[in-house]
């Protein structure tokens, strides 16, 4: 009983002492200035020391003194070391209290901080949206540093999804060509620039930056930044296939990052580079071991990045070689889940797609392996079935393609024959245009219908002007509109539209397109020089703004693609 009593007294004493120490610390903090508290808070990395206590004391002091600007800063300080929901609440409070702020840092700062928060929690779409808003407001207020931060954060986002060339360009600019970034920010920029250089194979530039970073961090006794640079050195050696040098550097990083920090990016990429290095040495068991640890981290933190595809495809192949169907199936499942997240989050171009295990293949392979486990069928029949299905699909697609190509060729040949028949009969260009793909005949009813709204003289005059328009190939002019043509032939748009609809049986846009395409059909068949021009030039000659508009109009009018029509002209000309 005495021992229990003594232990109880000891515990109570320790609790009391700790509470008393915290109370003294808080009283000391309240007596310090805002500047002193900010300096101490921002001199440490997030989560280090008593940063949360400092932030709480800062906000409490600001609220008691009703200092709005400092209340805002207190919310900023407090959001750093919180989970996503609480951090967002602090930033919402920040946005509310700064809504009427005259400072040029708001509201851009709120959006940039929110973007960083989403980026940290892998909601890339939300991160990008907030960075863009931050950039917009920073530009409105002319805040150079915030504009820089927005550009840099978007560059990191681009780097994350594989746009390394863009990233390097932005980081290089802000690291070397500006005078408003502080030294610590420049060091961070150079660290990430070295990473981008490795990805775009500028190895000498990357190595120089890594060595500079390692020397500087050793000089300043900054262990965290030293190991970040050391990790990049490991990546550098990995890319050069100096696997043993890479492993030596990365094993030291592994020890540090898993002992002294909780940064999921540093931990994941250290394991990734170690796994790839051992894979390069063909030490498959060790490589698989590091990749297993990555999978465990992903399950724990839900931190997903493009290189995970490499991790899971390696593990799938590894267990395929070892004929371990259960684990192979497990990692196929893991791959598919990760791939789905990547597909959702990376709507821009990802780093690269797996060459051998795209999603449809894995879906099929998953079904095959599941059937093999349940029905105990041999691998031979599964592979045979897959080959058979793929061949049947290929044959089906091939014959569909051939059938459609045959139809297109027939249409093209008929068009060419029609043009040739007109040429043999020595008919004029105007007659050729009228006969190729001729319009439906008009009945007396259509004329009666038009005459009820437009007088016969006006209708006859408009039709005469349209005949001149057609015979003189004026439809080839760029920028023709219903209004411009009506003005040219001295009538109004309503009358012109009604005459074209009634007597041509189509609206103005279709009428203009049909004239141009009929002209193209004839001239391409008859004029070898015109046919030799590039498609964009031909499109421009015909009055189209771009190649796509021309080719789409051609297929819609004729029922065959332009490329096949041109090919058939050449084929028939060679006979």
Spatial distance between the Cα atoms of 211 and 233, rounded to a whole number of angstroms: 8
Spatial distance between the Cα atoms of 482 and 493, rounded to a whole number of angstroms: 6
Q: What is the mean pLDDT of the chain?
A: 82
- Compute the average pLDDT of residues 270-274: 96
First to last CA, the chain: 115
The closest of 480, 474, 467 to 430, measured between CA atoms, is 467
Q: Is the pLDDT of residue 392 over 80?
A: no
Q: Where does the pLDDT of residue 439 fall: very low under 50, low under 70, confident under 90, or very high at 90 and above?
A: very low
Q: Where does the pLDDT of residue 432 fall: very low under 50, low under 70, confident under 90, or very high at 90 and above?
A: very low
Q: Is the pLDDT of residue 542 over 70?
A: yes
C-alpha 445 chain-centroid distance: 57
Q: Where does the pLDDT of residue 49 fall: very low under 50, low under 70, confident under 90, or very high at 90 and above?
A: low
- Own/partner pairs for 55-62, CB < 8 Å, 24+ apart? 55/80, 55/81, 57/26, 57/29, 57/30, 58/29, 58/34, 60/30, 61/30, 61/34, 61/37, 62/34
Spatial distance between the Cα atoms of 36 and 50, rounded to a whole number of angstroms: 14
> What tens digit of pLDDT does each residue of 144-184 get?
999 999 889 888 877 777 778 889 998 999 999 988 888 88
| Residues 6 or more apart whose Cβ sits within 8 Å of residue 180 | 144, 145, 148
Phi-psi region of 201 (alpha: psi -120 to 50; beta: other; left: phi over 0): left
CB distance 270 to 252 below 8 Å: no
Secondary structure of residue 471 in the 3-state scheme = helix
Q: Is the pLDDT of residue 349 over 80?
A: no
Spatial distance between the Cα atoms of 448 and 486, rounded to a whole number of angstroms: 22
Spatial distance between the Cα atoms of 544 and 538, rounded to a whole number of angstroms: 9
The confidence score (pLDDT) of residue 347 equals 52
- Compute the average pLDDT of residues 226-250: 96
> What tens digit of pLDDT does each residue of 96-144 get?
999 988 888 999 999 999 999 988 887 777 888 888 889 889 989 999 9
- Residue for token pair 């990805």: 199
The confidence score (pLDDT) of residue 423 equals 57
CB distance 562 to 549 below 8 Å: no
33 compared with 349, residue with greater pLDDT: 33
Pseudo-torsion of CA 208, 214, 215, 220, nearest 10°? 140
Q: Which residues of 361-374 are buried (b: 16+ CB within 10 A; e: fewer)?
A: ebeebbebbeebee
Q: Is the pLDDT of residue 421 over 80?
A: no
Q: Is the pLDDT of residue 540 over 50?
A: yes
352 compared with 318, residue with greater pLDDT: 318
Q: Where does the pLDDT of residue 228 fall: very low under 50, low under 70, confident under 90, or very high at 90 and above?
A: very high
Residue 71 to residues 31, 34, 35, 99, Cα–Cα distance (Å): 17, 11, 13, 13
Global pTM value: 0.55
CB distance 209 to 190 below 8 Å: yes
Spatial distance between the Cα atoms of 203 and 209, rounded to a whole number of angstroms: 10
Look up residue 122 and give its DSSP letter. T
Q: Where does the pLDDT of residue 400 fall: very low under 50, low under 70, confident under 90, or very high at 90 and above?
A: confident
Q: Where does the pLDDT of residue 517 fall: very low under 50, low under 70, confident under 90, or very high at 90 and above?
A: very high
The confidence score (pLDDT) of residue 361 equals 37
Q: Where does the pLDDT of residue 305 fall: very low under 50, low under 70, confident under 90, or very high at 90 and above?
A: confident
> Dmax of the chain from CA atoms?
126
The confidence score (pLDDT) of residue 355 equals 33
Which H or E element spans position 226?
A: helix 223-239
The confidence score (pLDDT) of residue 155 equals 83
Q: Name which of 115-124, 255-264, 303-312, 555-564 the model is least confident about.
A: 115-124
Angle at 423 between CA 443 and CA 476, to 5 degrees: 70
The confidence score (pLDDT) of residue 157 equals 77
Q: Name which of 2-6, 8-12, 428-432 the model is least confident about.
A: 428-432
Q: Is the pLDDT of residue 350 over 70?
A: no
Portion of the chain with pLDDT greater than 70, in percent: 82
Look up residue 443 and give its DSSP letter. P
């Amino acid at each position: 009983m005495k021992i229990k009593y003594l232990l109880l007294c000891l515990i109570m004493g320790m609790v009391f002492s700790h509470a008393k120490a915290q109370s003294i610390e808080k009283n000391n903090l309240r007596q310090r200035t805002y500047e002193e508290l900010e300096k101490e808070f921002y001199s440490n990395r997030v989560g280090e020391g008593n940063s949360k206590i400092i932030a709480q004391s800062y906000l409490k002091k600001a609220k008691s003194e009703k200092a709005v600007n400092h209340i805002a800063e207190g919310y900023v300080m407090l959001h750093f070391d919180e989970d996503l929901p609480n951090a967002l609440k602090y930033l919402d409070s920040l946005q509310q209290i700064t809504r009427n702020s005259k400072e040029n840092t708001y509201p851009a700062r709120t959006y940039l901080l929110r973007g960083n928060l989403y980026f940290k929690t892998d909601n890339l779409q939300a991160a990008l949206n907030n960075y863009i808003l931050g950039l917009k407001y920073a530009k409105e207020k002319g805040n150079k540093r915030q504009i820089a931060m927005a550009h840099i954060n978007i560059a990191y986002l681009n780097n994350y999804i594989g746009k390394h060339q863009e990233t390097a360009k932005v980081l290089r600019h802000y690291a070397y060509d500006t005078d408003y970034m502080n030294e610590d920010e420049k060091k961070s920029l150079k660290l990430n620039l070295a990473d981008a250089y490795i990805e775009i194979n500028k190895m000498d530039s990357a190595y120089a930056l890594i060595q500079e970073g390692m020397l500087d961090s050793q000089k300043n006794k900054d262990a965290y930044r030293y190991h970040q640079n050391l990790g990049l050195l490991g990546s550098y050696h990995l890319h050069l296939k100096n696997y043993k040098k890479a492993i030596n550097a990365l094993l030291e990083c592994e020890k540090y990052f898993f002992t002294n920090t909780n940064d999921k990016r540093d931990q994941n990429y250290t394991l990734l580079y170690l796994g790839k290095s051992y894979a390069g040495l063909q030490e498959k068991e060790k490589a698989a071991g590091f990749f297993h640890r990555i999978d465990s981290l992903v399950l724990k933190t839900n931190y997903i990045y493009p290189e995970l595809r490499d991790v899971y495809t390696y593990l799938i192949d590894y267990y395929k070689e070892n004929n371990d169907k259960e684990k192979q199936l497990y990692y196929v499942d893991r791959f598919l889940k990760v791939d789905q997240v990547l597909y959702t989050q990376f709507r821009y171009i990802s780093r690269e797609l797996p060459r051998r295990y795209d999603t449809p293949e894995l879906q099929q392979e998953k079904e095959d392996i599941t059937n093999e486990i349940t029905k105990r069928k041999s691998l031979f029949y599964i592979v045979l079935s897959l080959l058979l299905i793929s061949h049947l699909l290929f044959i089906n697609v091939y014959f569909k393609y051939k059938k459609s190509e045959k139809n297109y060729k027939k249409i093209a040949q008929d068009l060419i024959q029609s043009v040739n028949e007109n040429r043999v009969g020595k008919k004029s260009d105007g007659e050729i245009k009228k006969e190729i793909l001729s319009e439906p005949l008009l009945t007396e009813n259509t004329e009666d219908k038009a005459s009820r709204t437009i007088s016969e003289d006006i209708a006859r005059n408009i039709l005469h002007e349209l005949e001149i328009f057609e015979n003189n190939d004026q439809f080839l002019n760029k920028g023709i509109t219903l209004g411009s043509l009506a003005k040219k032939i001295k009538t109004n748009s309503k009358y012109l539209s009604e005459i074209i609809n009634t007597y041509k049986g189509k609206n103005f846009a279709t009428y203009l397109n049909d004239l141009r395409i009929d002209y193209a059909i004839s001239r391409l068949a008859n004029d070898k020089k015109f046919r030799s021009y590039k498609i964009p030039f031909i499109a421009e000659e015909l009055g189209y703004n771009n190649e796509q508009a021309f080719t789409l109009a051609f297929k819609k009018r004729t029922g065959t693609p332009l490329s096949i029509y041109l090919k058939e002209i050449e084929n028939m000309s060679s006979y």
